[in-house]
Chains A and B, each alone.
Chain A
Amino acid sequence: MNRILLITLFVILAVGAAQAQVAVIAHKGVTISSSNAAAVTDIYSLSTKEWKDGTTIVVFDIKAEGPTRTKFYNYIGKSPSELKKTWMRVQLSGEGKAPTGVGSDEEMIQKVASTPGAIGYVTASKVSGDVKVLATAN
């Protein structure tokens, strides 16, 4: 009886952990198969603007504050205000645009899947086969 309880608890915790994970996703045409936090930070800081094959990177971000965005920002080691300042500096210097904001995981997947060179992030459990997963963050 105790063993069943333990296994049930373990399964609940494992499912919870999986739901809490955030996946960094990219358009299927992106030529790299994995990435790390430092590289993703450079992309979201807009200091890396192209993939290794020269394709322009199109960055998507989740507009509203929430657990997925918070986990992703923690993963890249940036606070919302730091990123906003970085994006504002890039835009006000004429060097680029702030990432396009999306409203939900579903919209993020749809945008990344339909935009060549795109990168974004969603709750790991919501990843579909339309996009490529580059990294997973807890």
Chain B
Amino acid sequence: MKRILLVTVLCVLILQAGAFAQVEGINIFGYYQGQFEQSIVSGKGLNRAWNTLNLQQMNIMLSKDLSPAFSSFISLQLSTNFNSAKGWGSLNVEEAWVKYRGSDYFNIKAGLLVPTFNNFNEIKTKTPLLPYIMRPLVYESPMADLVSATNFIPENAFFQIYGVLPAGPVKIDYAVYAGNNQPDFISTVTKSASLSGQDTSKFKLFGGRIGVRSGSLKIGVSGTYDRTNPGSPYALPAYFRGTPLFTVAGMIGPVVRNRIGVDASYQVAGFTVEGEYIGVMHTLTESQKSFLKMVPLLTAGNLYDDLDKATYYVTLVYDFNEEWYSYASYAKLQDNFNVVFHSGMNNYSVGGGYRPTGSVVVKAQYAKYEMIDRVVADFAMDRYSLAVSVYF
């Protein structure tokens, strides 16, 4: 009897929830990208090849206008064939925020959000918008074992003020935000405190972007100020994890970090050219500088005495017509701190796509990743990918 009652209550609640969704105007939409990839790795002792089919990513999004001035948005991201029963992939609350819309000039978002940094950060996971399958180096999460995006870009913030200001023939975009220190938040220095996912430091991330738009030309400058934790599991490549290098890196303590970004894009006669530069600079205390000078000795040359990093990419896309496009892209990444990326990595990419409808993109890509100094780090990878990206 109790079970019947419970089922009845559940049914009523579900039906009411459905009616609520329609009556109260919750918009449900999203996208996913499925792909096939063939990877061929070459290097000393590394030669291997594999191929796989993969639901790379699926995002389910909900938005709702709460009043004329307030709206809310949630984005749930499931990646890499997510299946909790089999322990595959991950489920991630990418965004969950409420927005106050004052005017075109003044808006506030509060909650978990992807902050404005250069042009690509906000759309890096929105696969139907991207010409790529594999994105430029730092934005590609499947490369996380080699490159951690959080070292280069602010992946989350919790408060943002932004808007568009008209200035004669041009428009000025601005955004300022605040969030937690990254990567992995400073609290992981004291893992025993069991506060992962929280920032227990007294420091915070502050950042912003100012951009100018005129016709199809867009230029912007971005910056962030926060502290990084060189001992975080996300500050070094995965294959260093669990080694004594972490102990050494962790002894440096929170380091003041400034990221500078420059982005530009322009469209003309079917061509779109876009590019970004990100520089990551660190300011150390005298004691940190002294310690850092000993790091190469303590780590047998695996870590250097410079935490700075930089990356850039340039992409040229050509739209043959409404359906077909092709592109070529070049990206470079350099991390002065660890031996693997000290000389840098090159990433060449060519590809194209077909849009049978406005909601579906079929993509093909060849990407090559190669260490610039093959003596120090003998690694190269060729990746051939096919994908279908669907917006619903």
Contacts and interface: CB of A to CB of B under 8 A. Distances in A.
Interface of A: 38, 42, 47-50, 54, 56, 79-82, 84-85, 88-89, 91-94, 97
B103 A54 contact: yes
A85 B361 CA distance: 12
Interface of B: 27, 29, 31, 59, 61, 63, 68, 71, 73, 75, 95, 97, 99, 101, 103-104, 122-123, 126, 128-129, 164, 169, 171, 213, 267, 319, 322, 355, 358, 391
B27 A80 contact: no
The 4 closest A-B pairs by CB, nearest first: A94-B73, A84-B358, A92-B126, A81-B322
B123 A81 contact: no
Contacts of B169: 38
Contact of B29 (A49, A85, A89, A91): A91
B63 A94 contact: yes
Nearest to A86: B129
A40 to B, nearest CB: 14
B361 to A, nearest CB: 10
Contacts of A42: 171
Given A47-B164, A56-B68, A93 B322 contact: no
Contacts of A80: 322, 358
A24 B370 CA distance: 53
A94 B99 contact: yes
Contacts of B68: 56
Nearest to A48: B104
Contacts of A88: 126, 128-129, 391
Residue of A88, A93, A97 ringed by the most chain B CB atoms within 10 A: A93
A97 B63 CA distance: 10
Contact of A94 (B31, B75, B123): B75
